[in-house]
Structure 1
Amino acid sequence: MAKTLLAALASILLVGAVIYQSEAAFQASLQGLTLWWNIVFPGLLPFLVLFELITAFGLVHGIGVLLQPLMRRLFRLPGEAALPLLFGWLAGFPAGAETTAVLRRHGHVTLQEGQRLLAFSHMPNPIFMLVVLGAGFMHQPELGLLIAAAVWLSALWTAWLLLFTSRSEAFPARAAQVQEGRLVERAAKAITAARESDGRGFGRALGEAVSGGVQKLMLIGGLIIFTAVIAQLMQPLWLFISSGSWWEALFLPALLESHIGTYTAAVLEAPSLTPVLSAAITAAILAWSGISGLLQAGYSTSGTDLKLLPLAGAKLLHAGHAAWFVVLLWKPAQMLLASAPFDSLRQAASALPAVSSNGAWMNSPVPGYFHVQHFPNLWLYTLAASALLVLLLAALYMLARRETDIPK
């Protein structure tokens, strides 16, 4: 009863705030929509569709057989867990959470494995870190590369920490697999068996993959827009109760939404905010993913027994180590970039015009506020990456077909 009354009161206050600040709420909605359409939608849709297709055609099982020794030795995870890592690290959140939930629903991972895999695959979009953040927000491509390296290395480090600190578990009994023959031959048999078990044609599988992916992305877009509106409406109250320091101006955007938080960290200026501190905070925000990113993961894993609270704890641990890795790599990266080959490469990259939705970046000195012009369209990048992934998966499928067609 108390929770219901509290939720009703919060809803009434939110409606009143939207009416009172209607223009600010509209602008925030527009910015959230632009962020979703230019970055999240093209960054996720091709990979979500691809995952459904390779699941329908049995490639998940084939890749699981091929990568079983590597994944077991490094992370104590089944070979199928390589797919959430691949999609999560290529497409950004919540692609990793979505694919992890699929594996959990089909029983390919245990609950403990699924929780660790969820934390390991819930990663920011690499194109956002390298293109939007480095070349766009910070106007320094090498900073985007340094932050991306810190986020990736800290993710590996955090995954091993979670592995060594978690209670030991015995390897679960997996579905029986034929162990005779070469590794590629076993993968081919797994692909064939899974394909026959699914039974859907290409047209039906493609249609269901596209419709399901768009439906999921519509809800994710709603969460992003809602979070952007909440951040904008809470900003005056937060600035009123805070002392006006730079970290208080950064706290609310970083807590709620990682894209807004990273933009705020990039444009924020303060005497005590050094470049290395700014880069470390930005890496921590990306690793944390924001409440919006956690809610997206929660929606993707709905219907499973995967919990959101352990994921939040793991992402906080990841955020702290990401900031530490930036500080650790700062001087070595400066020395490396000062060398002749990397210096010429950095100057060439800095001379390139930053990609934007209207062809040019527009600077904004206002902390906590971002413009729609600051978010470039990532369609070209993600379509090229997904096309390359399609070619690789098609080659694997043809190799598997060839292996099964070889007379014994």
Structure 2
Amino acid sequence: MKQILKTILLSGVTSFFAIALLKFPDQALEASIRGLNIWWESVFPSLLPFFITAELLTGFGVVKFIGVLFEPIMRPLFNVPGVGSFGWMMGMSSGYPTGAKIAARLREKEQLSQIEAERLVSFTNASSPLFIFGAVSIGFFHDAKLGVLLATCHYVGNAIVGICMRFYRNKEDKHIKLIMGKNKVSIGRAFKEMHRTRLNDERPLGEIIGDAILNSIKTLVMVGGFIVLFSVITKLLFLIGISSTIAAGLGQIFHIFTLPVESALPFLSGLFEITIGAQALSQLTTDTFLQVAILISFILGFNGFSVQAQVASILAKTDIRFAPYFFARFLHGIIASILTIILYKPLYLDKQAFEMNDVPVSQEVGQNFWVTILDMLNQVGPLVTISFLGIAVCIIYRRSIKKDAA
């Protein structure tokens, strides 16, 4: 009976959106192009180097080397092996869904247990500094000081989530911790582990590089599909009127917490797709900017359903469960919002008051840095995307010829 209801629900929702697409074809096309442009110009070229590097470092054993060295830090803080430090650092520097991609890869290589991988995924998917400073703070709000506040609350909140999630199913992997605790950390042992990992991978160098490129491009094509899909879904929900209905109920909750009622609809859009919500929130006029900063911090920590769907798709190929990650997203959003309230005065208002009297030269340099990177991505991004898609086609073609010849 449960499966029958699930079938009816899934087919009904899909049919509903198919009808909506037929009713609003022009608006759906516009939303689709917008999502495609985001992927084409920014997402693909910015994430591709990190994905390929992560694949190569994993194949050559460098991740194992890092894992042995960082074991004394990662195990007590987050209750995950030292290799988790690689996913944490890469996730913060490149943004989502890099953390999930690396955690899934480490799980496939059996460098993490199932529970450890679930803990790692819960706190390694973060917004990149480029998105927080370049897109949100400077691009939407034209205020670099806001980036300092949002980034601090986001990354500190992320670390707190990791510490909280260390207790997730703590008793079930106690034997693993006892085994790991017996090993002393040393550079010599780290090098031996790296060398052993590289020898265990019998693929030639060319194949390792080819696999790294193909796996990265496959993941990014999937990410692009989700970005386009949720861009269209968000637009259709607004056109049909469902978003307005939900936002009306959400506005009542906002009123209780003294948040602006008119921010309910932009906030709801941000729960689906962060970029759309952040841009809409930047156009609001409120009595105090703190209210908008709180909402931005929450949707950054929540990741948005679009990113969550990307993570779910990556995790589906492994035994890593999605539920811990989903719970951690609510936790991260709440913690980041609380930190925004606490740090709003020292990291934003006080800086604003200081710069009214004395504007440091470094401020404009910082703004120009992120704007320059965004402009560069918009100009070079499509060329990078086309080039690597072409490389992927060539690799697949050559491998198919060798397969036929064999």
Q: What TM-score do the two structures reach when normalised by structure 2?
A: 0.81
| Separation in structure 2 between the aligned mates of residue 60 and residue 288 of structure 1, nearest angstrom | 28
> Does residue 341 of structure 2 align to residue 327 of structure 1?
yes
What is the CA distance between 1:316 and its match in structure 2? 0.3
Amino acid of the structure 2 residue aligned with 1:278: V
Q: Residues 176, 258 of structure 1: CA spacing in aligned structure 2 closer, same or farther, 3 A cutoff?
A: closer
Q: Percent identity?
A: 27
Gaps of 5+ in 2: 252-260, 385-406
Match of 1:146 among 146, 149, 172: 149
Structure-to-structure mapping, 1:92-171, within 5 angstroms: 92-164=95-167, 167-168=170-171, 169-171=173-175
Amino acid of the structure 2 residue aligned with 1:303: K
What is the CA distance between 1:28 and its match in structure 2? 0.3
> Does residue 41 of structure 2 align to residue 26 of structure 1?
no
**Which residue in 1 is equivalent to 2:234?**
231
Give yes or no for contact 2:64–2:197 (8 Å, CA) kept in 1. yes
**Which residue in 1 is equivalent to 2:195?**
192
Give yes or no for contact 1:357–1:377 (8 Å, CA) kept in 2. no
> Does residue 277 of structure 2 align to residue 261 of structure 1?
yes
What is the CA distance between 1:253 and its match in structure 2? 1.0
Amino acid of the structure 1 residue aligned with 2:331: L
What is the CA distance between 1:251 and its match in structure 2? 3.5
Give yes or no for contact 1:47–1:87 (8 Å, CA) kept in 2. yes
Structure-to-structure mapping, 1:241-280, within 5 angstroms: 241=245, 242-243=247-248, 245-267=261-283, 269-272=284-287, 274-280=288-294
> Does residue 73 of structure 2 align to residue 70 of structure 1?
yes
| Separation in structure 2 between the aligned mates of residue 326 and residue 25 of structure 1, nearest angstrom | 35
**Which residue in 2 is equivalent to 1:348?**
364
Q: Residues 159, 217 of structure 1: CA spacing in aligned structure 2 closer, same or farther, 3 A cutoff?
A: same
Match of 1:309 among 318, 323, 326: 323
Amino acid of the structure 2 residue aligned with 1:335: D
Deviation per CA, 1:62-97: give whole Å up to 9, x if none. Answer: 111111122123222211111111211111111100
Runs of 4 or more, structure 1, over 6 Å off, are 173-180, 356-360
Give yes or no for contact 1:43–1:378 (8 Å, CA) kept in 2. no
- Match of 1:172, SS state, is helix
- Decide which moves more: 102-111 or 86-95: 102-111
Q: Residues 261, 343 of structure 1: CA spacing in aligned structure 2 closer, same or farther, 3 A cutoff?
A: same
| Separation in structure 2 between the aligned mates of residue 141 and residue 12 of structure 1, nearest angstrom | 44
Give yes or no for contact 1:356–1:377 (8 Å, CA) kept in 2. no
What is the CA distance between 1:2 and its match in structure 2? 2.8
- Match of 1:93, SS state, is coil
| Separation in structure 2 between the aligned mates of residue 280 and residue 171 of structure 1, nearest angstrom | 41
> Does residue 225 of structure 2 align to residue 209 of structure 1?
no
Q: Residues 358, 24 of structure 1: CA spacing in aligned structure 2 closer, same or farther, 3 A cutoff?
A: farther
Amino acid of the structure 1 residue aligned with 2:312: G
| Separation in structure 2 between the aligned mates of residue 99 and residue 222 of structure 1, nearest angstrom | 20
Give yes or no for contact 1:337–1:343 (8 Å, CA) kept in 2. no
What is the CA distance between 1:12 and its match in structure 2? 2.0
**Which residue in 2 is equivalent to 1:394?**
none
Q: How many residues align?
A: 364
| Separation in structure 2 between the aligned mates of residue 62 and residue 47 of structure 1, nearest angstrom | 18
What is the CA distance between 1:198 and its match in structure 2? 0.5
What is the CA distance between 1:337 and its match in structure 2? 5.3
Amino acid of the structure 2 residue aligned with 1:123: A
Amino acid of the structure 2 residue aligned with 1:132: A
Gaps of 5+ in 1: 361-374, 383-408
Deviation per CA, 1:354-394: give whole Å up to 9, x if none. Answer: 8389969xxxxxxxxxxxxxx956859x9xxxxxxxxxxxx
Q: What TM-score do the two structures reach when normalised by structure 1?
A: 0.81
Amino acid of the structure 2 residue aligned with 1:327: I
What is the CA distance between 1:352 and its match in structure 2? 4.3
Amino acid of the structure 2 residue aligned with 1:223: F
Give yes or no for contact 2:28–2:235 (8 Å, CA) kept in 1. yes
| Separation in structure 1 between the aligned mates of residue 15 and residue 230 of structure 2, nearest angstrom | 17
Amino acid of the structure 2 residue aligned with 1:277: Q
Amino acid of the structure 2 residue aligned with 1:301: L
- Decide which moves more: 171-180 or 151-160: 171-180
- Match of 2:176, SS state, is coil
- Decide which moves more: 41-50 or 66-75: 66-75
What is the CA distance between 1:8 and its match in structure 2? 2.1
Match of 2:298 among 280, 284, 300: 284
What is the CA distance between 1:345 and its match in structure 2? 4.2
| Separation in structure 2 between the aligned mates of residue 205 and residue 108 of structure 1, nearest angstrom | 19
| Separation in structure 1 between the aligned mates of residue 50 and residue 108 of structure 2, nearest angstrom | 19
| Separation in structure 1 between the aligned mates of residue 366 and residue 195 of structure 2, nearest angstrom | 49
| Separation in structure 2 between the aligned mates of residue 311 and residue 160 of structure 1, nearest angstrom | 14
Give yes or no for contact 1:97–1:301 (8 Å, CA) kept in 2. yes
> Does residue 322 of structure 2 align to residue 318 of structure 1?
no
Structure-to-structure mapping, 1:375-386, within 5 angstroms: 376=378
| Separation in structure 1 between the aligned mates of residue 138 and residue 331 of structure 2, nearest angstrom | 27
Deviation per CA, 1:253-282: give whole Å up to 9, x if none. Answer: 122112222222222x1445x211111111
- Root-mean-square deviation (CA, aligned residues, Å) is 3.0
Amino acid of the structure 1 residue aligned with 2:56: L
Give yes or no for contact 1:258–1:285 (8 Å, CA) kept in 2. yes
What is the CA distance between 1:155 and its match in structure 2? 0.8
Deviation per CA, 1:184-218: give whole Å up to 9, x if none. Answer: 22221111111111022221111111111111111
| Separation in structure 2 between the aligned mates of residue 26 and residue 299 of structure 1, nearest angstrom | 24
Give yes or no for contact 2:119–2:168 (8 Å, CA) kept in 1. no
